[in-house]
Amino acid sequence: MSLMITDECIACDACREECPTLAIEEGDPIYVIDQDRCTECVGYYDEPSCISVCPVDCIVPDPDNVESVEELKHKYEQIESEN
């Protein structure tokens, strides 16, 4: 399942700097997560790094984008092959 940022976002930039896939971008008025790039840090870390640094706990699973670990691994491999 990809992640999403809720309206509680304070646009502090902490999550964007932690994202290894550059999936988090500044939006108006809150930050947004590119569902095509979010791997929930599968392949990079044990847990999503953006969640751990968010001071207001506004990053949550996106119920409209459910993905299995295998799908997230495949997305990770595609992103890594771009580099």
**Residue range 14-28, pLDDT digits in tens:** 999 999 999 999 999
Average pLDDT along the chain, 83 residues, taken 10 residues at a time: 93 96 95 96 96 97 94 96 86
Complete DSSP assignment for 17-59 = HH-TT--EE--SSS-EE-TTT--TTTTT-SS-HHHHH-TT--E
Residue 24 is predicted with a pLDDT of 98
pTM above 0.85, yes or no: yes
What residue ranges define each of the domains in the chain, with the CATH number in brackets? Answer: 3-82 (3.30.70.20)
